[in-house]
Amino acid sequence: MSYPMHILVNDFAIRSFRETADKDYITARMAYRARLIQPFLWSALHCLEKYIKGILLLNRVEAHRGHSVLPGIERMKRHGKFEIDLSTDTVKFIKNLEEYGAEFRYYEVSYTTMPFDIIRLDRAVWEIRRYCQPLDYDIVDMNGKTVNLLALELERVHRAKAKHEKGTCVMGGVLESIIAKKEHPARGSLIWNNLFFGPSRRKGVKIQSNWESGNSPFFLHPEIIDEVIKYVYIPKNIAEGVRQFAKQKAAEEAKAARDAKKAEKGAAKQSNRKTDQDRL
C-alpha cells in the first residue's frame, strides 16, 4: 500500500525525533539518579533538541543545525503557525544547558548543575513534547467540507497543560507505552520521583538537593590547547577561546608575580628601616 508523502514525512519525524527523544529523556533520568551528571546534561539537551526538531519537521519548518534548542523554538515562533508556550523556568533551564557545557561531550568547557535539575527537565519535556505530534491537519466533515483542526488541537493540548494533567496528550508514544507496561525495565527510571509522567497522583516528591560542577582541563591548563589539537578535533571557536583565556591567565599570573615581588621589596625596605632605627 502506498502512503501519501505527508504521512511518510510525519512518520519519519515521530520515529526519528520524538521516539529517540523519549529514550534520551529516560536515559537522562537514569544518569541523574546514578549521579552521572555529565551524561545527564548531554542526554537532557539531546532529548529537548530532538523534540524541537520533530516539531519543526511536523510543521514543515526548516530545522537548525547543531544540538541547541532555543534557536529551533525561535524558528517555530517566526515561521510556524503557532508558538511553543514555555514557562520562564523552562527557558532558563534550557539556557543553562546550552551555556554550561551540555553540548560539549569531551569536557571542552566547564559544567554546572543546580539542585532539582531533574524536575526542571521533567517540566521542560512536559511543556515541549505535547507539540511533537501532528496538530495541523485537515479532515472532511459530514457535509463534505474540508476542515483544518489546528486550532482545536492547540486548544486540547493547552487545556490539558492548564489543568496540570500528567502526560502530554500524545497517543501511543514510547513514554506512554512504557508507563502502561508495569514489567518494562525502563518504567521505574521514568516514573521515579516524576511529577509530570506516570500513574501517581502525588503533588510533591522528596528528593535530595544535590548540585555539581566541574572545571574543564582547558580551564585548568589552557596552555595545552595547541598540543591537544595536533591529535584530536576541537571546534575552532573553542580552541580560539581557550587560547585567549591562556593569554589572559598568563597575563594575570605575570601581574600577580610582579605585585608579589613589589610587595616583597617593600617589606624588605621596611625591615631595613626598622633595623637602622634599632641601631640608632
Helices vs strands, H then E, count in the chain: 12, 4
203 and 224 fall within a common domain = no
134 and 203 fall within a common domain = yes
11 and 86 fall within a common domain = yes
Share of the chain above pLDDT 90, in %: 69
In one-letter notation, the amino acid at residue 120 is R
Residues paired with 140 in a beta bridge: 146
The residue-averaged pLDDT of 60-67 equals: 89
87 and 202 fall within a common domain = yes
154 and 242 fall within a common domain = no
166 and 249 fall within a common domain = no
183 and 255 fall within a common domain = no
Residue in 104, 119, 105, 130 with CA at minimum distance from that of residue 18: 130
Residue in 106, 131, 132, 104 with CA at minimum distance from that of residue 46: 104
In one-letter notation, the amino acid at residue 46 is H
Q: Which of 214, 246, 267 is the last residue of a domain?
A: 214
* Amino acid 3: pLDDT: 85
Neighbour count for residue 24 (Cβ, 10 Å): 21
224 and 162 fall within a common domain = no
244 and 187 fall within a common domain = no
* Amino acid 70: pLDDT: 95
Which residue segment(s) compose the domain that 34 sits in? 5-214
Residue in 92, 91, 126, 115 with CA at minimum distance from that of residue 32: 115
* Amino acid 12: pLDDT: 97
3-state DSSP assignment of residue 104? coil
* Amino acid 257: pLDDT: 85
The residue-averaged pLDDT of 97-101 equals: 82
- Give the H or E element holding residue 146: strand 146-148
Neighbour count for residue 16 (Cβ, 10 Å): 14
- Give the H or E element holding residue 70: helix 70-79
43 and 142 fall within a common domain = yes
30 and 150 fall within a common domain = yes
**pLDDT tens by residue, 3-61:** 899 999 999 999 999 999 999 999 999 999 999 999 999 999 999 999 999 999 999 99
Q: Which of 214, 229, 254 is the last residue of a domain?
A: 214
From CA 192, how far away is CA 188, in angstroms rounded? Answer: 6
For residue 273, pLDDT over 80 is answered with: no
Neighbour count for residue 36 (Cβ, 10 Å): 15
Q: Which of 214, 236, 269 is the last residue of a domain?
A: 214
255 and 152 fall within a common domain = no
Domain count, the chain: 2
| CB of 216 closer than 8 Å to CB of 107 | yes
Between 277 and 245, the higher pLDDT residue: 245
